C-alpha cells in the first residue's frame, strides 16, 4: 500500500501549497526523499527511485522542478510520437512540430538518467537542461555539491544559484560524462544543493547491453483504449455479444473502456485505426496496510533464518494459546539455547511457537476471575504478543472492523510467556521474579508494557533494576512510555539502559455516527460493533435523570457515573453524558446507547453503543434535546476512515522531559500504538466489563502498551541479523534511523516522539552505532549522586563508586543529546561520544548540523574516517543554548547527523528550560 502513502503525502503538501502544480508537488516528494541503504537495497535507485518519502520535509523542499503540459508534449514528441498518436494521449488538437520537440534529458524532471550502451572505453556525455523555482527562503543561495565515482564526470554550470524572492526561477546545465565499459556495474551518485533545505538529484547509470522483452498474450476480459466514440459503434463483434460485453467506460480523464473479448476479437481490435493499445486485465494483489506496513515493514522484507532462533520474553497478562496468531505450523523444536519451562496444566499447553509459559503470584491470593496458569484472562498479553511475533492470519477483524491480515513484526520468532499481571495489578515481586527467570531461560529480547503512574528513582524501580540485569546479560528491555499524556514530564520507564516507546497513530481511524430525530448527523470517535439497525430511540440527558434514591444529584448523573443514573428514566434510551467514562454507568442503568463528550483522537471500545463528540457537537445535541418534546437518536456501527495527518503522537502518550534525569532524552522513539488490531483472549469479552457478552478472537485497542511490542519486534528483527550486537547497539540502530515527525501535528516535538518514528527496515544498516555496556551505566549512576550502597541496589553486585568511576549524563554514550537550561541564562554543555562502524569497511562520515535560533552546535572533529568494521571513533559535541524568559516555546531542538553518502546517522539535540529550585 505504498501508493496511498505517497498519495496522502502529496495531499499533505497540497494542503500547505494549494497553488502548486502536480509536478511541483511531485518534485517536493522526490527531492526530499531519503536515499536507502545499498546494503539492503542492492538494486538501489532501480528499487526506490529518489528514496523513501519523508512527509515532514516535503512541505519545505526549498527548490522545485516544475513542469506543465507543454513540457510533457515536447517530451512525447521527442520520444517519436506522431501528431495522431500525441492527440490520443492529450485529447486535444496538440501537434508535434520542430518547436515542440524535446529530449528526455531536457524534461524538467527531479532525477537524471544516463543510458550507457556499447563497448570499449569511448567517452560519452550528455547535457541536461533544468530549471528550479524557489519556494524556500526569499533571499537564498544554493551551491551544488557533486559526488561522482571515477566512471562519471559530473559538472554543473552555474554551480551557484542565488534567489531574491519566492517564485523566482533559475536555470542550470548538468553535464554528465561516462566511459562506456561493459565492466561497469550499476552506480548511482547524487548532487545536493544546500542552504539548509536539501535538494537531492539522483543520477542513475543503467546496465549496458540489457534488453528486456515483454511477452504479452490476450485472454477474455481485455482492457483497451479508444480515441472517439465512433470506435464503439464500429465494433460489431463487441455489440453482438450483448450489453454484458461492455463492462466499464472511462470518460473523465482519459478515453477507454473495459470489455469481455476473445483472443481473436482482441487482435481485430488492435488493428482498428485509432486504437492505441489492447492489453489483458489482470488481477493485482492487494497491498494491505496495517501498523507494520505503515512503517514500510511489509511481510516481504528481507529476513534471516535466524529469526526462528530469536526468543521474545513477554512479561504481561499471559497468552491465549489457541489463537491462530500462535499456531506453530511449520516450526521446528525450540532453539537449543532455550533453558526455560512450560507450566502446563489442564487448561494450558505450550507448542513450538509458544515455547515457554510461567505465571507468578507471590502472595498466593487469587481473585475468582483469574486463571491460575499462563493462560490470559485479560486479553492484554495476547494482544501484545501477537503484535510482536504473531503468525500471519488472514481475514482477521473485530466484527468486520479493520478487516485484513493480522501479523507480528517477527512472525518466525518464538514467544516465552511470563504472566505477571492479574485483575488486581502487576506486583513488583512478580515482575522481578519474571525478569530473573527470563534472563536465565535464554530470551533475546524482553517486552514489558507495564509501568507505574509516574517515574521513580532507579533504585526504587523494579523495572529499571530488572532491565539493568537484562542489559548485563545482553538482553534489551523494551518498555512502554506510559499513558499519562499530554502533560509534560509524565514519561515512565526512563532508565537509559532500556528502550522507552511512545505511541503514535497509523493512517486509519474509526468514526461512529450519531443521528438525531431532526435528521442531523454528527461524526464521533469510538469503536462500536453493536448495531441498532437504524432504529431511533428516546434521547435523555444524564443530568435530567439522577438516581435520587441512592443519594445522587444532577451534578453527578450528568457524567453518567456508575449508579448515578435512575434506571426507570434511562432504560431503553440513548443517554447524553458530559464526559467520557467506560460506559458501565449507562449500561447498568439499562441505556441502549450513550453519547459522550471527549476523546477525539483515540477510539475506545464500550460495552454498549457509544459515540464521543467534541464539545460543540455535544452542545448542539443538548440544544436539540431541549427543543423538542420527544427527542430521539440512534448510534451507527463504526466505519473506518483514513487519517491523512498520521503519524502523530497521540494525546494519551506520556511526554518528556525525563523527570529523573533531565539530560537523558525520553521517550527514545515512537511506534504505532493507536487502534491496533491483534489477538485477544476468549476468556474475556471485548471490554471485560459487566454487561458486555462479546467474545472475540481479535480486538482493537490503543496504548503505549501496543507501541512497545512494535519496538520489541523491531529490536528482535535487528538482532536476528546481528546476534552479537549489544542491547545499546540495537537501541542505537533503532533511534538513529528513526524519522522525526512533523511539528505541525506534534507540538511537543522530541518530548513526544524522542528520536522519531521507528523505521525497522532502516535499522538493519544504521552505519554507526552508539554502544554502551555495564561500566558506562555504572559511571552514569555514580555521576547521578548514587553512593556505593544505593548503586548496588540497582546492579546487585559489588560495584562501587570512585573518582575513576564517576561520569555525567552528558558523557553517557547515548544516541541523543539533551541539556536542561535556566530560562534567560546561556548554558554550555560538552558531550563526549564514541561511535562504532557497522556500515562500510572503508568510509568517511561528515557532520551535518541543524540548529535553530537559540542553539549553537559544534562538533570536533567534524569528519570521522574508518578503515574497518568494528572500528571506533570518538568526538566531542559542544552545545550552547539560551531560552528567553518570555519565550512561548521553552524548548529548542536541532539535530546532528553523521553522513557518509549512504547512511545518515541522526541524533536529536534538545535544549529545554527548567526553573531553578
Burial of 32 per CB tally in 10 Å (0-12, 13-18, 19+): buried
Alpha helices in 17-68 (DSSP H): 22-31, 45-48, 55-58
DSSP-assigned letter for residue 201: E
- Cβ atoms 672, 662 nearer than 8 A: no
Question: Of 649, 647, 704, 604, which is closest to residue 398 (Cα–Cα)?
Answer: 604
CB atoms within 10 A of CB 703: 22
Asked if the peptide bond before residue 647 counts as cis, ω within 30 degrees of 0, the response is yes
Asked if the peptide bond before residue 158 counts as cis, ω within 30 degrees of 0, the response is yes
705 is catalytic: yes
380 is catalytic: yes
Residue with cell string 495527518? 645
CB atoms within 10 A of CB 584: 20
Q: Which of 293, 323, 380, 437 is catalytic?
A: 380
Q: How far, in Å, CA of 728 to CA of 766, rounded?
A: 13
Grid coordinates given for 634: 440512534
* Helix, strand, or coil (residue 405): strand
Give Dmax (Cα) for the chain.
99
Q: Which of 500, 705, 720, 816 is catalytic?
A: 705
**In the Cβ-directed half-sphere of 471, how many Cα atoms lie within 13 Å?**
29
Q: How far, in Å, CA of 655 to CA of 746, rounded?
A: 11
Q: How far, in Å, CA of 387 to CA of 291, rounded?
A: 9
**In the Cβ-directed half-sphere of 650, how many Cα atoms lie within 13 Å?**
31
- Cβ atoms 728, 773 nearer than 8 A: yes
- Cβ atoms 752, 649 nearer than 8 A: yes
- E strands present in 481-609: 499-504, 509-516, 521-525, 537-541, 574-577, 593-597
899 is catalytic: no
* Helix, strand, or coil (residue 910): strand
Give the relative orientation of helices 22-31 and 2-16 as an angle to the nearest 10 degrees: 110
643-653: string of b/e by CB count within 10 Å (b at 16+)?
A: bebbbbbbbbb
- Cβ atoms 270, 278 nearer than 8 A: yes
Q: How far, in Å, CA of 752 to CA of 744, rounded?
A: 13
Q: Which of 66, 265, 293, 316 is catalytic?
A: 316
Kind of pairing, strands 123-134 and 63-64? Answer: antiparallel
Q: How far, in Å, CA of 839 to CA of 662, rounded?
A: 32
Grid coordinates given for 437: 527467570
- What size, in residues, is the chain? 917
* Helix, strand, or coil (residue 847): strand
Active site residues per annotation: 316, 380, 705
Amino acid at each position: 500500500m505504498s501508493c496511498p502513502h505517497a498519495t496522502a503525502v502529496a495531499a499533505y503538501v497540497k494542503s500547505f501549497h494549494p497553488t502548486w502544480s502536480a509536478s511541483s508537488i511531485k518534485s517536493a516528494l522526490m527531492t526530499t526523499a531519503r536515499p536507502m541503504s545499498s546494503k539492503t537495497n542492492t538494486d538501489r535507485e532501480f528499487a526506490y527511485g529518489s528514496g523513501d518519502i519523508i512527509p515532514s520535509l516535503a512541505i519545505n523542499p526549498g527548490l522545485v522542478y516544475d513542469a506543465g503540459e507543454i513540457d510533457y508534449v515536447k517530451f512525447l514528441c521527442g520520444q517519436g510520437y506522431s501528431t495522431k498518436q500525441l492527440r490520443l494521449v492529450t485529447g486535444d488538437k496538440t501537434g508535434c512540430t520542430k518547436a515542440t520537440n524535446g529530449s528526455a534529458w531536457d524534461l524538467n524532471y527531479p532525477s537524471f538518467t544516463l543510458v550507457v550502451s556499447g563497448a570499449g572505453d569511448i567517452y560519452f556525455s550528455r547535457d541536461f537542461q533544468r530549471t528550479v523555482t524557489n519556494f524556500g527562503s526569499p533571499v537564498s543561495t544554493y551551491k551544488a555539491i557533486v559526488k561522482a565515482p571515477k566512471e562519471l564526470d559530473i559538472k554543473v554550470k552555474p554551480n551557484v544559484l542565488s534567489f531574491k524572492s519566492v517564485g523566482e526561477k533559475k536555470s542550470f546545465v548538468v553535464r554528465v560524462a561516462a566511459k562506456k565499459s561493459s565492466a561497469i556495474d550499476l552506480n548511482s551518485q547524487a548532487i545536493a544543493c544546500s542552504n539548509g533545505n536539501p535538494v537531492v538529484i539522483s543520477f542513475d547509470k543503467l546496465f549496458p547491453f540489457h534488453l528486456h522483452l515483454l511477452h504479452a498474450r490476450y485472454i477474455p476480459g481485455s482492457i483497451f483504449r479508444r480515441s472517439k466514440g465512433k470506435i464503439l459503434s464500429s465494433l460489431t463483434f463487441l455489440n453482438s455479444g450483448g450489453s454484458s460485453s461492455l463492462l466499464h467506460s472511462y470518460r473523465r480523464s482519459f478515453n477507454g473502456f473495459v470489455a469481455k473479448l476473445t483472443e481473436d476479437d482482441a487482435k481485430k481490435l488492435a488493428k482498428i485505426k485509432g486504437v492505441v493499445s489492447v492489453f489483458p486485465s489482470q488481477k493485482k494483489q492487494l497491498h494491505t496496510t496495517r501498523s507494520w506496513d505503515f512503517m514500510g515493514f511489509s511481510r516481504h522484507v528481507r529476513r534471516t533464518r535466524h529469526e526462528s532462533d530469536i526468543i521474545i520474553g513477554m512479561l504481561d497478562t499471559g497468552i491465549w494459546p489457541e489463537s491462530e496468531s500462535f499456531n506453530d505450523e511449520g516450526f521446528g523444536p525450540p532453539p537449543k539455547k532455550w533453558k526455560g519451562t512450560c507450566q502446563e496444566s489442564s487448561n494450558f499447553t505450550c507448542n513450538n511457537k509458544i515455547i515457554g509459559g510461567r505465571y507468578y503470584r507471590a502472595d498466593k491470593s487469587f481473585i475468582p476471575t483469574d486463571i491460575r496458569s499462563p493462560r490470559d484472562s485479560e486479553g492484554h498479553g495476547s494482544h501484545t504478543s501477537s503484535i510482536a511475533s504473531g503468525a500471519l492470519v488472514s481475514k482477521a477483524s473485530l466484527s468486520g472492523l479493520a478487516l485484513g491480515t493480522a501479523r507480528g513484526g517477527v512472525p518466525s520468532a518464538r514467544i516465552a510467556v511470563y504472566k505477571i499481571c492479574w485483575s488486581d495489578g502487576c506486583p513488583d515481586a512478580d515482575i522481578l521474579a519474571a525478569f530473573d527467570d527470563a534472563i536465565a531461560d535464554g530470551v533475546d529480547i524482553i517486552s514489558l508494557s507495564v509501568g507505574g503512574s509516574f517515574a521513580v528513582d532507579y533504585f526504587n524501580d523494579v523495572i529499571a533494576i530488572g532491565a539493568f540485569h537484562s542489559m548485563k546479560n545482553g538482553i534489551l528491555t523494551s518498555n512502554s512510555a506510559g499513558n499519562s499524556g499530554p502533560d509534560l514530564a509524565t514519561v515512565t520507564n526512563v532508565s537509559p539502559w532500556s528502550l522507552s516507546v511512545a505511541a503514535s497513530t497509523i493512517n486509519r481511524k474509526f468514526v461512529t455516527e450519531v443521528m438525531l430525530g431532526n435528521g442531523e448527523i454528527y461524526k464521533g470517535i469510538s469503536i462500536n460493533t453493536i448495531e441498532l439497525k437504524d432504529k431511533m430511540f428516546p434521547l435523555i440527558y444524564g443530568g435530567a435523570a439522577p438516581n435520587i434514591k441512592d443519594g445522587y444529584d444532577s451534578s453527578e448523573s450528568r457524567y453518567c457515573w456508575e449508579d448515578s443514573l435512575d434506571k426507570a428514566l434511562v432504560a431503553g434510551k440513548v443517554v447524553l453524558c458530559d464526559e467520557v467514562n467506560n460506559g458501565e454507568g449507562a449500561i447498568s442503568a439499562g441505556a441502549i446507547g450513550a453519547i459522550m463528550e471527549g476523546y477525539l483522537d483515540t477510539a475506545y471500545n464500550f460495552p454498549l453503543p457509544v459515540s464521543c463528540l467534541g464539545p460543540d457537537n455535544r452542545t448542539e445535541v443538548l440544544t436539540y434535546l431541549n427543543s423538542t418534546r420527544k427527542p430521539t437518536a440512534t448510534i451507527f456501527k463504526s466505519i473506518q476512515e483514513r487519517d491523512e495527518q498520521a503519524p502523530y503522537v497521540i494525546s494519551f502518550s506520556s511526554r518528556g522531559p525525563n523527570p529523573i534525569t533531565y539530560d537523558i532524552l525520553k521517550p527514545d522513539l515512537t511506534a504505532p500504538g493507536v487502534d491496533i488490531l491483534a489477538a485477544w483472549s476468549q476468556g474475556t469479552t471485548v471490554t471485560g466489563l459487566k454487561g458486555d457478552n462479546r467474545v472475540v478472537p481479535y480486538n482493537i485497542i490503543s496504548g503505549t502498551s501496543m507501541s512497545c511490542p512494535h519496538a520489541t519486534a523491531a529490536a528482535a528483527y535487528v538482532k536476528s541479523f546481528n546476534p552479537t550486537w549489544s542491547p545499546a547497539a540495537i537501541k542505537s540502530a533503532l533511534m538513529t534511523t528513526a524519522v522525526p515527525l512533523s511539528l505541525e501535528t506534534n507540538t511537543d516535538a522530541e518530548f513526544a516522539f524522542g528520536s522519531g518514528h521507528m523505521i525497522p527496515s532502516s535499522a538493519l544498516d544504521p552505519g554507526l552505532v552508539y554502544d554502551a555496556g555495564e561500566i558506562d551505566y555504572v559511571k552514569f549512576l555514580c555521576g547521578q549522586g548514587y553512593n556505593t550502597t544505593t548503586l548496588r541496589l540497582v546492579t546487585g553486585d559489588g560495584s562501587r563508586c570512585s573518582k575513576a568511576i564517576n561520569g555525567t549524563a552528558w558523557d553517557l554514550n547515548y544516541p541523543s543529546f539533551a541539556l536542561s537550561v535556566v530560562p534567560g541564562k546561556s548554558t554550555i554543555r560538552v558531550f563526549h561520544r564514541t561511535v562504532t562502524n557497522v556500515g562500510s569497511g572503508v568510509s568517511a562520515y561528515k557532520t551535518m548540523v541543524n540548529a535553530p535560533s537559540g542553539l549553537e552546535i559544534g562538533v570536533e572533529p567534524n569528519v570521522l574516517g574508518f578503515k574497518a568494521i568494528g572500528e571506533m571513533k570518538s568526538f566531542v559535541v559542544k552545545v550552547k543554548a539560551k531560552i528567553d524568559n518570555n519565550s512561548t516555546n521553552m524548548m529548542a531542538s536541532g539535530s546532528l547527523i553523521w553522513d557518509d553518502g549512504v547512511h545518515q546517522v541522526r541524533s536529536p539535540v534538545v535544549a529545554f528550560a527548567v526553573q531553578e529550585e
